[in-house]
Structure 1
Amino acid sequence: MQSAYWATRHMAEEHHIANLDPSAFFTLHDFDNDGSWSGDEIRLTYGLDDESAKDVEETKKADVVKAVKEIFDKDGDGVVSKEEWIEGWMKEGKRLPDFGVRLMIDTREEDLTHPEDIAHFKKHDEIDAQAEYQEKIDAMPIVEQNIPQKFRRY
């Protein structure tokens, strides 16, 4: 699995998701839901604020954030917007690098104690619930809730 892109491995190992959708990847790691990745969100994505990363030097952590911003932050505003991410990923073939920081992060939901981990898995649950709902709606021949009230007969 060493030849796989870092983001693909990350999704499989940390999130137990086999396929990589760039838009969903971005949304999943936009922890404050503001449409962009700050340096803190990049650190969280790479697990650099986890207890298991305590031995990783702060300069290495800063280098990771700087490198990701250099790759994706086209306008130089200090954050990676979803548009910059999608354009870089889809049109330019850019990828998140593997910085060789392998962390032993326990991702079992029942063991979560950190607020960012709880929020992270809550976001997973919300995405899963939305996907299940959309699947159900897509399977319906007529979606009554999409019919304006004035056209419904009761």
Structure 2
Amino acid sequence: MVAQLLGLIAGALALTSSVVNAHGSHANDNPPSDDWATNHMREEHHIDAFDALSFFTLHDYDSSGAWTPDEVRKTYGLDDETNAGSSEARKQEAVLAVFKLFDPQNTGVITRDSWMQGINAGTRLPDLGFGPGHHGDDEYEYEIHHFEKYHNEYTTEEELTHPEDIEHFKKHDEEELAELRLQKMEQTQVVDVNIPDKFRRN
């Protein structure tokens, strides 16, 4: 299992090498920016050069041409475990703050056009205090924030000894065991005599 995951991670590293600043401290490699989107792209996607339309499209998760409140929430990583300690009211205020900037007509969505109009007028996504916007699945977050920083495609299974490595692969093992238990239960035949009377057909 670990060997397969290492192979997948190594493949992903190779595919993204053109836009990735791999194997280093991203915070130290790139100075902070007042524009939250720039920091987000560096931290979450390892991309330094992008334009406003590309940013919008990348975070238009359903490709509808508009951002919903849920998409803004996802982009800012408000439901990520790193923000579990923040209140729901504070998270809703954060989403509302973004909509006040980019949905001046109160339509309930941020269209591609209203986004571009805001950007062209000098409006930028604010840093709302929720971090860089973790919005990938566990595999992506582990790869982008740990594996690329401390390991590389030549890392062996025996070298994955950091607490983050152990926790990550422990979670995989638990998921695999749960799947095996479910498969075993599904293959178990029902024994008629073990069915309580109240569940039997008369």
Question: In the alignment, residue 97 of structure 1 is paired with which amino acid?
Answer: P
- Report the TM-score when normalising by structure 1: 0.65
The letter for the 1-side match of 2:52 is: P
Counterpart contact for 1:88–1:94, Cα < 8 Å: yes
Higher RCO (CA 8 Å, separation ≥ 6 residues): 2
Match of 2:89 among 37, 41, 59: 59
Aligned residues: 111
Q: Equivalent of 1:111, from 126, 139, 163? A: 139
Change (3 A) 1:15 1:112: closer
Report the TM-score, using the length of structure 2 for normalisation: 0.51
More displaced 10-residue stretch of structure 1: 77-86 or 97-106: 97-106
Q: Which residue of 31, 51, 54 corresponds with 1:24?
A: 54
Distance 1:14 1:103, change over 3 A: closer
Instruction: Extract unaligned runs of 5+ from structure 2.
Output: 1-30, 142-202
Which of 75, 78, 83 is residue 105 of structure 2 equivalent to? 75
8 Å contact kept, 1:72–1:88: yes
Deviation at 1:26, TM superposition (A): 0.3
Give the RMSD, CA atoms, in angstroms.
Answer: 2.3
The gaps in structure 1 that reach 5 residues or longer are 114-154
Matched, 1:98 2:98: no
- Flag the 1:84–1:105 CA change in 2: closer, same or farther, 3 A: closer
Q: List structure 1 runs of 4+ shifted beyond 3 angstroms.
A: 103-107
AA of the residue aligned to 1:111: E
Tell me the distance in 2 between the aligned counterparts of 1:84 and 1:104. Answer: 22
AA aligned to 1:93 is G
Structure with larger Rg: 2
Work out the CA distance in 2 between the residues paired with 1:110 and 1:48: 15
The residue type paired with residue 49 of structure 2 is N
Do the aligned residues in 1 keep the contact of 2:40 with 2:133 (CA within 8 Å)? no
Cα drift, residue 74 of structure 1:
2.4
